[in-house]
Amino acid sequence: MQSSDDKKQNLVILGGGWGGFRLLKGIDLNKYNVFVVTPRNHFLFTPLLPGSAAGTVEFRSIIEPLRRARVHPDYHFFEASCEEIDTANQTVDCSPLNKGDPHFTLKYDKLVVAVGCDVNTFNIPGVKEHSYFMKELGDARRVRSKLIENFERASNPNTPVHLKEQLLHIVVVGAGPTGVELSAEIHDLITQDLRRYFPPETIVDVRMTILEASETLLGAFDSTLQKQTMKVFMRDGIKVRLHKKVQQVLDKNTLLLDDGSKVECGMIIWSAGIQARELLMKGHETLPIDPRSRKLLVDDSLKVKGFDNVYAMGDCSMIESRPLAATAQVAQQQGKYLSKLLNNDKYDKQFIYHHQGLMAYIGDYRAVTELGEKQHKHKFGGYLAWIFWRSAYLTKLVSFKNKVLVPFNWMITFFFGRDISRF
């Protein structure tokens, strides 16, 4: 496929997440023909994904179409997946989402791999077939629909007691920030909205359980914030079971734990970690990939080791000298850095990560926040932390449209409650 301006270099960006989107916004289109390849045609503001699953914000309020990220004749977007990277011929082979459509090949002068990561099932049988994930916007829609469906079924007059108790038991696997925030948002939905519209005999049977394989929830946070979150969850009736590993998901309503016990529930939401995309999992003869994490190895300038024109960033990459956490702020800072590096041939600075802190919503207008690094940490929780949490995310929204819609959604939720329709 030929570029629209053959005098410019062809820059191919694989992925439209935090890193890819930030690079796209900052790249000089007077210097490059830019080709973006990603299977979803929008940028997703992932921190508010749990809120969209509970109806606190609407789905379209947290996405931004990639096609309108830049308006320029030399910016090209393709809704497709990269199947193969040919470094010898400097091409990428791409497959459209519709499997019946023909593949196409893009020629690159410079390539940026920012494909993100996938849900880690740890090869546990039954997880893919029977669990709900929290990775994409479609996942949030399915979780909300299933949750309302279970409440409607449980409220029917002739629903057997055992089935009713099963339907109203929500299990979240994984107590990281996504699992904790999703549990908190669902709890708010139940206590602030569903309780008003469903009969008391239905609400009384609601149970929420978080299963975590490690010794604590919110493992990256300070221990005082972990204890505060645990205290809030205990008060709200959210049961956190630590040191509990899932051995198998027997069906859509049953988990088998490593101690031999079974857990019956109405839905299983899997939020237990991340793993490399299929593009990197299948291995490459030329690209250097860490054998354990399956991430691309890059240097301090985000160049893939052994290549001068291939870069990687975000969750799919690992700086060999100083590995960083797979977070949105890391990917966003790398995207900003890479735009400067590619725009200026004389830019010779190495990438330096500036940690901005950690935040998590824990329900009932409360959050936990940790700012700074190591000995200079500032940690606090409660209502003021929630105000800070919302304010920080509001400033991080990527478009003026989102910055209008999200606070409007919050206001609608506060005054009129969440929508409980199922469609």
CA distances from 292 to 274, 276, 283 (A): 13, 10, 12
CB atoms within 10 A of CB 289: 19
CA distances from 347 to 26, 31, 32, 52, 343 (A): 15, 15, 17, 40, 8
Q: What is the pTM of this model?
A: 0.94
Q: Which residue has the higher pLDDT, 150 or 291?
A: 150
> Would you give the DSSP letter of residue 303?
B
Mean pLDDT calculated for residue range 248-260: 96
Of 1-15, 56-70, 243-257, 290-304, least confident by mean pLDDT is 1-15
Relative to beta strand 207-211, strand 238-241 is: parallel
**Termini Cα distance of the chain:** 41
- pLDDT of residue 27 exceeding 90, the answer is yes
Mean pLDDT calculated for residue range 233-247: 97
- pLDDT of residue 3 exceeding 70, the answer is no
> Would you give the DSSP letter of residue 308?
S
Q: Which residue has the higher pLDDT, 36 or 7?
A: 36
CB atoms within 10 A of CB 46: 18
CB atoms within 10 A of CB 204: 9
Sheet (strand 267-270) strand order = 132-133, 267-270, 169-173, 207-211, 238-241
Residue 286's SS3 state is: coil
Q: Which residues have a Cβ under 8 Å from the Cβ of 179 and sit 6 or more positions away?
A: 134, 172, 173, 210, 212, 217, 269, 271, 272
Integer Cα distance of 360 and 354 in angstroms = 19
Of 164-173, 223-232, 326-335, 376-385, least confident by mean pLDDT is 376-385
Structural domains of the chain in order of their starting residue, each with its CATH number = 9-119+275-343 (3.50.50.100), 127-272+358-416 (3.50.50.100)
CB atoms within 10 A of CB 346: 4
Q: Dump pLDDT digits (tens) for 383-422.
A: 999 999 999 999 999 999 999 999 999 999 999 999 999 8
Mean pLDDT calculated for residue range 185-210: 96
